[in-house]
Amino acid sequence: MKHLAFLRGAAALSMAAVASKVLGAVYRIALTSLLGAAGMGLYQMAWPFFALFLTLTSAGASSSVSRLVARERALGGSGNNVFLAGVRLFALLGGAGAVLLALFSRSIARLQGADLAGGYLLLAPAVLLGGVLSAFRGYFLGVRRMAPAALSEVLETLIKVGLGVFFALLFRSDSPRAAILALSAVCFSEGAALAFLALSLKGERKTPDLKPRRSGEILPFVLPVMAAACILPLSQAADSVLLPRLLGGGAGAVASFGLLSGGALSLASLPASAARGLASAAVPSVAALSARGEGERAKKRALFALAATLLLALPCALILFFFAGKIVSLLYPALSSGERETLVSLTRLTAFSTLTIAGTDTLAASLAGLGRASNAALAMLAAVVVKAALQVILVPRMGVTGGAIAANACFLIAFLFDLLYTVRKQQRGKRTYGNDHRSGNARGGTEPSRRKALAGGALRARARRIAPLGGGADGA
């Protein structure tokens, strides 16, 4: 029954992710028709730097907050202290990122050689909103309310699509202006999703927490998750500089890089988006079990999530391998015959990575729930270092095929290391955020001591609820 409840929550998140991806794909097609090549080029050029600022300021916000909230609730609290501290922290980080993006908007636009300064100014508030929105979603995942988190994601995409198409139609005669205004739809969509989640907070548990938390206190637990989430995007940004150079430069090198990163690897990553609900649901589930000292059950839950992920990804990998030709012809009809042939070859070669990309996402999320996000970060760091070395060795000799092999090796190494970190025994005596401040017991203590700590926490929580006003109790 526990596994069924876990799968129901994961299914809701996965369906929301798939719906958002489908809507996003339709949106890109519609924008391309409305804005034309020049307008769509401006729109696409703005995304990498916006995504970089957003990643650097809010990566891991959802998973870290959900993990800490789940631990608090497993120990008798409401998790409100962590939630509020997380909102403050990511509002501060997001605000700093928004200010920096606005300040450097002209410099970035000059670097790109495009009139995008206005677009970056419109996107800057979305950096702030994105961090706060991720913290809110983390709270709902931590309290196992998957529906609001899933609905907020679909709502966000719907508003972005609706407003983006509206602006594109309204200023269709001026495609650069239409592209810039279409970017502003991101702020409106994130604001609407944030308002929806704020309204959904009604009726949440009012149990006071035993100790309010400051943003600085949860930062050490957030940083490893952020590091794990940032390493791959930064590596992919480096790939956009390194690979074209290794391929010899020029238009042909850029085209080959586009076929690999925008074609084959994008297709291999799609099943990971569908399985993202399993990764998101794994964090609070594993964290709650770990907080109660049920280390073996937490490990089994993580492995169950991995098995469900691989079961979902395996048919996708087989379809990509055996039907690569038909998929490429259907999705990329504008490519020349030579480019289609190259992309078919790359798609078949990277089909194996469908399993390792999806598996790595779920295992990294599970490690965050177990309090070992730093292990996931180290695994990904080792993987991208190996990838870079293989690129330098293989690409000059094998061309873009060498880049595909290096990418396969990267995700395989990250997957194997994450799996090793997940199944290995945790060191005893390691103290964690979830119970240090309540009982002083280390995770993995004996069952009687764990029950005593939980009982003590519950009694103190009840005492706080009936304490007279003005009695000096700290609010949640």
Query: Could you tell me the pLDDT band of residue 10, with boundaries at 50, 70 and 90?
Result: low
Q: Which string of DSSP letters, residue by residue, matches 136-185?
A: HHHHHHHTT-HHHHHHHHHHHHHHHHHHHHHHHHHTTTSHHHHHHHHHTH
Between 265-274 and 276-291, two packed helices, what is the crossing angle to 10 degrees?
A: 50
Task: Examine the pLDDT at 153 and tell me if it is beyond 60.
Answer: yes
Is 100 a residue whose pLDDT tops 80? yes
Whether the pLDDT of residue 390 is over 60: the answer is yes
Q: What type of residue is 118? A: G
> Can you tell me the distance from the alpha carbon of 276 to that of 291, in angstroms, rounded to the nearest whole number?
23
Does residue 150 register a pLDDT over 60?
A: yes
Over 80: is that where the pLDDT of 178 sits? yes
- Stronger pLDDT, 217 or 466, i.e. the higher one: 217
> In the prediction, which pLDDT does 37 show?
60
- Residue 264 pLDDT > 80: yes
* pLDDT score, position 425: 65
- Count Cβ neighbours within 10 Å for each residue of 181-198 and write b for 16 or more, e otherwise: bbbbbbbbbbbbbbebbe
Cα(133)–Cα(194) distance, integer angstroms: 6
Inter-residue contact 280 to 63 (CB < 8 Å): yes
Per-residue pLDDT at 459: 41
User: Which is it for the CA torsion 277, 368, 427, 216, positive or negative?
Assistant: negative
More confidently predicted of 388 and 278 = 388
Segment 167-183 shows an average pLDDT of 85
Locate the DSSP E strands across 25-146. none
% of residues, the chain, pLDDT over 90: 28
Residue 440: predicted pLDDT: 38
Local confidence band at 317 (pLDDT 50, 70, 90 cut-offs):
very high
Task: Give the predicted TM-score (pTM) of the model.
Answer: 0.68
With a pLDDT cut of 70, the percent of the chain lying above it is: 78
Give the pLDDT mean for 102-120: 84
Model confidence pLDDT, tens digit, residues 393-407: 999 999 999 999 999
Mean confidence (pLDDT) of the chain: 79
pLDDT beyond 80 at 129: yes
How distant, in Å, are the alpha carbons of 76, 176, 456 from that of 359? 32, 40, 39
State the pLDDT confidence band at 172, using cuts at 50, 70 and 90: confident
pLDDT of residue 101: 92
For 14, the enclosing helix (H) or strand (E) is helix 2-58
More confident residue, 172 or 194: 194
pLDDT of residue 66: 82
**270-274 long-range Cβ contacts below 8 angstroms, 24+ apart:** 270/21, 270/316, 271/312, 271/313, 271/316, 271/317, 271/354, 271/357, 271/358, 272/313, 272/354, 272/357, 272/358, 272/361, 273/17, 273/18, 273/21, 274/14, 274/17, 274/18, 274/21, 274/312, 274/316
Q: Say what the pLDDT of residue 82 is.
A: 82
Q: Which long-range contacts (CB under 8 A, 24 or more apart) does 162-171 make?
A: 163/188, 163/189, 164/27, 164/31, 165/27, 165/30, 165/31, 165/34, 168/30, 168/31, 168/34, 168/35, 168/39, 169/34
Cβ atoms of 376 and 363 within 8 Å: the answer is yes
Cβ within 8 Å of residue 182, ≥6 positions away:
31, 35, 43, 163, 164, 167, 168
* pLDDT the model gives residue 413: 97
Buried b (16+ CB within 10 A) or exposed e, 441-470: bbbbbeeeebeebbeebeeebeebeeeeee
Contact indicator for 72, 205 with CB cutoff of 8 Å: no
pLDDT at 215: 61
Q: Is the pLDDT of residue 282 over 90?
A: no
Q: Phi, psi (5° rounding) for residue 144?
A: 65, 30
78, pLDDT greater than 90: no
pLDDT at 446 over 50: no
Contacts of 305 (CB under 8 A, 6+ apart): 6, 10, 278, 279, 281, 282, 285, 286, 362, 365, 366
Q: What is the structure's pLDDT at 430?
A: 44
Q: What is the distance between the alpha carbons of residues 56 and 226, in angstroms, rounded to a whole number?
A: 8
Distance from C-alpha of 373 to C-alpha of 215, rounded to nearest angstrom:
19
User: pLDDT category, 217, cuts 50, 70, 90?
Assistant: low
| pLDDT confidence of residue 29 | 64
The yes-or-no verdict on residue 79 having pLDDT over 80 is: no
Q: How far apart are CA 399 and CA 256, in angstroms?
A: 9
Q: Say yes or no to pLDDT of 63 above 70.
A: yes
